[in-house]
Amino acid sequence: MTPDPTAGHPSAQLDEVVHQRARLGILVVLAEAGTAEFTYLATRLGLTNGNLNRHLAVLEAAGLVEVDKRFEGRRPKTWLSMTPAGRGALRREVATLRAIVDGVALP
């Protein structure tokens, strides 16, 4: 059976703000950790500091992640946490990914 082409494909519903590899990783780790420190995130995701900073800026601008810079003693530390909007966006991404992978037919 040929699918109706006008029905659209679930991949068209993916949002690159959330779908992009590093940003998806950031949101997934924050969903499990609640709050995470910058250095932990960078190590966990195998990202350079510059790369992580760049992706956090995109997520912060979209209102999906909150950035909290604090001093602990003399050392500045950056804490990241997910906003309710971030949680909703990740939930939608995961639902769409499930629809995509469940539909893949690979002999």
Give the interface with its own copies as residue ranges (CB under 8 A).
2-3, 5-6, 8-9, 11-12, 14, 16, 19-22, 24-25, 28-29, 31-33, 40, 43-46, 87, 90-91, 94, 97-98, 100-101, 103-106
| Distance from C-alpha of 77 to C-alpha of 49, rounded to nearest angstrom | 13
Nearer to its own copies, 2 or 74 (CB): 2
Nearer to its own copies, 3 or 73 (CB): 3
Nearest residue to 27 (alpha-carbon basis) of 96, 102, 88: 88
Closest approach of its own copies to the CB of residue 72, in Å = 18
Count other Cβ atoms within 10 Å, centred on residue 72.
9
Task: Report the nearest approach of its own copies to the CB of residue 87 (Å).
Answer: 6
Residue 7: CB minimum distance to its own copies, A: 8
| Residue 18: burial class (beta carbons within 10 Å; 0-12, 13-18, 19+) | buried
Distance CA 84, CA 99 (A): 23
The minimum distance between CB 85 and its own copies, in angstroms, equals: 13
